[in-house]
Structure 1
């Protein structure tokens, strides 16, 4: 009998190892397909099977899967994304090609294009910021003036807040649009920008699996004009009616987009007019599966894999705690001389994990997105207030030093 395998297309800094571990617990042999496996430290283990393949080439991946089917029973296919979410479209097409459980490729494709997504949501009257599409920097200024400053200017395709900026005047609009359209952003398709009304208010992220609501995370950002996450708290502190409103609008989003299979997360701002939808993502969020497991005992990765391989899954809560993550974000560019005190932070009661992504002598050039983070601290406890205090105390123990880049002497 052939061993059952799970194909993972590309990797993920946070969730990749969780999928590897969960696959093994479920008796599956995880195989990672990657264009550059060196991007993921955890794949360096000799125990893991890795196939180097151009993951932008659907036919190449189909050939590799076909060859593997001589040695393995391929039970399911899923994957991760970086700055280009079109990889999820590839995964959906692979599942369809091999007759495996998976999402509708057309639904994933329209969701990954932020403008098309907005159009579909608008058809069902889901509340959103006013938005316009453009591919011209001059027109961007005109649109911004029409919508009213400040505005958000961002690429129509991408993730991790890459290229997303709050522009407070027409000069910032022009500068950012020109930069994005003239090479300041890596485009996987024709350059197009969304100009959106800025929706001020608390930020939340709801989590759904096949239209079943899991819970809501509270999000906190660093200072504008960028949207670099600083802290996630799960579950968010919400009144019952607020939770219901967010859950209802989230489920309406996935129905409108045809995302009735698999995970999704919906970014929402609670404005003076109530909740408005910022973005729908057809995937699990980065660190949230870990927080959900710590807080409610639900292993989202494990249950997602069960869904992928066609087995019964459930999202039953087994405890009621609060978990939170604080990201360690530098306030300057330069050379990271040292980063430390992780052992002191990890020793704080209630701290679950302290992890650094970058080591000494690493150049730090902030991008204004997820790539700016140096590491994170995660804490959990039965109380929201206690978890917040633990996280604050532990994060304060972590320190680092960034020296200016050396100057070139004449």
Structure 2
């Protein structure tokens, strides 16, 4: 009987399906994470280490190998651990994006530079470490602008500004974003997620042209010179600008075949320009009057804690995490989506105020809504909520997954869930 291959998974997840997938593929799992999941059947070996610390993870992996352990592939589903996985894979000579490619995707200023050099359409982008530099960039690019951290995630700190007063407020907010350990509102406190998304030597403020047009997300896996589409997601509701907190996704896209082909071609061109060769990606674009423009290139699968991958699976029958793992194992990409995708989608449910959650109403009713097929709880009784946009982007208490015979049915199910499922607070 052939010996099982060993997957080094860096960082645990709130989504148990992700850690079930390697075992379902016949892999042994070495999990490098500070805190393992409660279900120890999801992994075989636990390396107790800070999953965001390159040197600490490398030392732990070297120790594992010195004890006659093996590693045949390296993977992570977590944005904050992408650079760690790349460094380990490079040291072990295993498939994966190079550290240079990961930096080109995680450092949004470098992303803009590389895409512009490769003539891939993207907003004009500058980086500032002082407000004087921000003023110079604004004078060059012109208002309106979007300010965001040079490297972060979850739309934290991302703000649209229309004049110099708003520019100053957004700049000051982002420069202080990584300082607090937590955000507070009276007696309520939540951890600052910026610390798990921090990236070495990329702590400036990104100044970017504001691009009008509808926004879309493209999920792909790639390896062996192939870039394969998992799905194109529509974002059917506009952002509540000046912030950009993610809302509902709908899959498959309602765009024409030609428009979808343009999005896919632009996303693949961006990945190639950034040196991405093995892994998964979640590319966000806006479709302007002049064609698609890249907003961000995320070097990992989209929404592995959210329902992005589940929405793809319901729509196409393809489970993205499995195909991503096949790519880092060096296997050919051979998946086939359903010829006629099923309409599917998901939506985050956001708390309406700060407070301590006592429980929820509408729990039984939500699953009776036609089309609703899943609820993932992102908060539990006793948890605090702090509404403090854009510093704290985390106010989602549940995610709803839906499927239907039409997009209208899917969106109706998501809207119905939002009406009935509500948090109850202690005060």
Q: Using structure 2 for the length normalisation, give the TM-score.
A: 0.85
Moved more, 357-366 or 139-148: 139-148
Report the equivalent of 1:338: 359
| Distance apart, 1:183 and its partner CA | 5.0
- 1:5-35 Cα distance to aligned partner (Å, 9 max, x none): 3211112334xx2221111111112232113
State which of 365, 373, 398 in structure 1 corresponds to 2:396. 373
8 A Cα contact 1:213 1:251, kept in partner: no
SS in 1 for 2:344: strand
Report the equivalent of 1:157: 151
- 1:213-263 Cα distance to aligned partner (Å, 9 max, x none): 332111245412221111011112101221111111111111111112221
Q: Using structure 1 for the length normalisation, give the TM-score.
A: 0.89
| Distance across 2 between alignment mates of 1:296 and 1:154 | 33
8 A Cα contact 1:2 1:71, kept in partner: no
8 A Cα contact 1:358 1:374, kept in partner: yes
Report the equivalent of 2:184: none
Report the equivalent of 2:60: 64
Q: Structure 1's 325 and 226: CA in aligned 2 closer, same or farther, altered over 3 A?
A: same
Q: Structure 1's 193 and 228: CA in aligned 2 closer, same or farther, altered over 3 A?
A: same
Structure 2 unmatched runs, 5+: 180-193
Q: Do residues 99 (structure 1) and 93 (structure 2) align?
A: yes
Alignment of 1:307-318 (within 5 A): 307-318=327-338
Report the equivalent of 2:206: 194
Q: Structure 1's 370 and 321: CA in aligned 2 closer, same or farther, altered over 3 A?
A: farther
Report the equivalent of 1:392: 415
| Distance across 1 between alignment mates of 2:262 and 2:52 | 38
State which of 263, 270, 277 in structure 1 corresponds to 2:287. 270
| Distance across 1 between alignment mates of 2:289 and 2:348 | 28
SS in 2 for 1:277: strand
SS in 1 for 2:248: strand
State which of 83, 86, 98 in structure 2 corresponds to 1:89. 83
8 A Cα contact 2:34 2:50, kept in partner: yes
- 1:35-94 Cα distance to aligned partner (Å, 9 max, x none): 344xxxxx0123344321133443432332234344644231111335x4xx21221121
Q: Do residues 252 (structure 1) and 269 (structure 2) align?
A: yes
| Distance apart, 1:302 and its partner CA | 1.1
Alignment of 1:119-268 (within 5 A): 119-183=113-177, 186=194, 188-190=199-201, 191-210=203-222, 211-219=227-235, 220=237, 222-268=239-285
Q: Structure 1's 20 and 182: CA in aligned 2 closer, same or farther, altered over 3 A?
A: closer
SS in 1 for 2:151: coil
| Distance apart, 1:284 and its partner CA | 0.4
Report the equivalent of 2:301: 284
SS in 1 for 2:346: strand
Alignment of 1:10-49 (within 5 A): 10-14=11-15, 17-37=16-36, 43-47=37-41, 48=43, 49=45
| Distance apart, 1:188 and its partner CA | 4.3
| Distance across 1 between alignment mates of 2:52 and 2:347 | 33
- 1:90-148 Cα distance to aligned partner (Å, 9 max, x none): 21121122222222222122221111111110012122222222111233234324422
8 A Cα contact 2:12 2:35, kept in partner: no
Q: How many residue pairs end up in the alignment?
A: 394
Moved more, 321-330 or 123-132: 123-132
Moved more, 67-76 or 215-224: 67-76
Q: Structure 1's 188 and 309: CA in aligned 2 closer, same or farther, altered over 3 A?
A: closer
| Distance across 2 between alignment mates of 1:323 and 1:362 | 30
| Distance across 1 between alignment mates of 2:326 and 2:134 | 45
| Distance across 2 between alignment mates of 1:150 and 1:184 | 25
8 A Cα contact 2:7 2:71, kept in partner: yes
| Distance across 2 between alignment mates of 1:140 and 1:170 | 10
Structure 1 unmatched runs, 5+: 38-42, 405-410
